[in-house]
Amino acid sequence: MAAATAPPSRRWRGGGIGAAVSILALSSAVVAARARTSAFCTGPHRDARSTGRRQRNDCRSFALGASLQTPTPTESSSTASSAAKRPSLHTIPSNVIPFPPFADEVPQSHVLAVDDMGPALKFSKNGKLKVLNLTGLHHLAVIILTMPLWMMAMETLHRLGDAIEGFDDHRAKFDYSGKVWCRTYLRLTDCYPEIVGDVDRLKDDAGNGACLFVANHASFLDIAVLCCAVDPVFKFIAKDSLKDFPGVGMQLTGGDHVLIDRSNKRSQLRSFKDAVNYLKEGVPIMAFPEGARSPDGRLMDFKGGIFSMAVKAGVPIVPLSLANTHAVMPSEGLVPVQSGRGKLRVYVHKEIGVEGKSEEEIAAEVRAALLSELPPDQHPSEEPDR
């Protein structure tokens, strides 16, 4: 889907005739736009107290085309007769993409083209294009200033956990240091996500018991976003290669998370058993059923075996839809390339029971749930956008 973002605001500069001409032109455009809106949205909805959602819906109905307009009382009988055959305003034709459930306006992609990322340093890493713009520099500065404190906290908590029996069961305190860092980092970079849906399922004191959290995986930013959303101690199922990544690797290894080497059958079996044991002990597991990051943000096919863990342990599955992380930190970005305000969103779905269901049935339910709260540009390209 083509990138569509609003241009950055600019401060008016200059003066004299040039400024006057510019202001006059802007005023004329605003007046013309308001005149068109008035012509499209006439009727009782123009009352000062009812010009909100109802008026926007009238304008949307107009935008769907003349074939959706209902006849007015002043139309001729022949016109009214032909208009009666037209679909109702509440009937959306098959060629029109419905609005996603979380959007109040026409959906658009927040993905930026590389040329729209502003002044940027472009380079190649492992044969792939990487971009570092001004937003990225801000992120790097925050990471450089805060990550050493996080790593010191992890080292201290790990030593205390080793020295004092019962001090840090399941490395909960150790893992919480990572949540504190992720939340601090995303707030300082204007990337803290909106968290909606069944949010009580994510609270530490809700007493919901263990479950298998599953989320779509569209960006490296997903890990930090999930750490902002989920309060109880949980363990990631992550690639073994991440253990060498600064900060994140120390968190995964020191927190006894489940690391998996997909090229090694023994590693896969050991990881499966470790995850099931955590679930039986009451510790939730976080997994990405796609098994890898999507290169373009679109939901990919699921890998086998993920949902079998929930069946084996007898726990429910809670899907989490992550919206627009691929736009804020795309595959080309060394770090995020734009603000996440108004874009990043975590939707917590109702839990899905696994009793008496096959893995294929569970996968279908999870996939439908994830897609129901993802924007159109995160739907598989071969499937119609919802």
Helix (H, G, I), strand (E, B) or coil at 128: strand
- Tokens 């996500």 belong to residue: 193
pLDDT of residue 108: 74
User: Residue 223 phi/psi, 5° resolution?
Assistant: -60, -50
What does the alpha-carbon distance between residue 380 and residue 385 come to, in Å, rounded to a whole number? 8
Q: What pLDDT does 78 receive?
A: 46
CA atoms within 13 A on the CB side of 350: 2
User: Which one has a higher pLDDT value, 246 or 62?
Assistant: 246
- Report how far residue 222's alpha carbon sits from residue 225's, in angstroms, rounded to the nearest whole number: 5
Tokens for 10, please give them. Answer: 């600019």
State the chain's mean pLDDT as an integer: 78
Question: Sign of dihedral through CA atoms 332, 336, 341, 344?
Answer: positive
5 pLDDT above the threshold of 70: no
- Which amino acid appears at position 256 of this protein? D
d(CA 201, CA 204): 9
Which residue in 110, 127, 178 sits closest to 337, CA to CA?
A: 110
pLDDT digits (tens, 9 = 90+) for 92-125: 333 333 434 444 454 579 999 999 998 889 998 8
User: Both tokens of residue 380?
Assistant: 């598989």
Please state whether beta strands 120-125 and 128-133 pair in parallel, antiparallel, or not at all (unpaired).
Answer: antiparallel
Percent of the chain scored above 70 by pLDDT? 70
Is-contact 226 210, C-beta < 8 A?
no
Mean pLDDT calculated for residue range 218-225: 96
Contact 230, 213 (CB under 8 A): yes
260 contacts 237 by C-beta, under 8 angstroms: yes
Question: What number of other Cβ atoms are within 10 A of residue 24's Cβ?
Answer: 10
Question: At residue 195, what are phi and psi to the nearest 5 degrees?
Answer: -120, 115
More confident residue, 152 or 44: 152
pLDDT in tens, 266-289: 888 999 999 999 999 999 999 999
> What tokens appear for 234 in the block?
């949980």
User: Which H or E run contains 134?
Assistant: helix 134-163
Q: What is the pLDDT of residues 299-322, one digit of tens each?
A: 999 998 899 999 999 999 999 999
pLDDT of residue 137: 96
According to the model, what pLDDT value does residue 206 have? 62
Residue-level pLDDT at 24: 38
**Which run of H or of E encompasses 299?**
none
Closest among 252, 232, 227, 234 to 242, alpha carbons compared: 252
Identify which has the larger pLDDT, 7 or 321: 321
b or e along 99-121 (b: 16 or more beta carbons within 10 Å of the residue's beta carbon)?
ebebeeeebbbbbbeeeebeebe
pTM exceeding the 0.85 threshold for the entire prediction: no
Identify the DSSP state of 375.
Answer: -
Range list of β-strands (E), 199-333: 212-215, 235-239, 258-260, 285-287, 317-323
Residue 208: per-residue pLDDT = 78
For residue 204, the model assigns a pLDDT of 73
- How distant, in Å, are the alpha carbons of 156, 184, 247, 309, 333 from that of 254? 11, 20, 10, 23, 27
Report the share of the chain in percent with pLDDT over 90: 59
- Express each pLDDT in 27-76 by its tens digit: 444 334 434 443 433 333 333 333 443 443 443 333 334 333 444 444 44
- Give pLDDT, residue 53: 39
Window from 7-16, 75-84, 236-245, 310-319 with minimum mean pLDDT: 7-16
The secondary element (H helix, E strand) that includes residue 147 is helix 134-163
Q: What is the pLDDT of residue 61?
A: 39
Across 131-146, average pLDDT: 96
DSSP state, residue 333? B
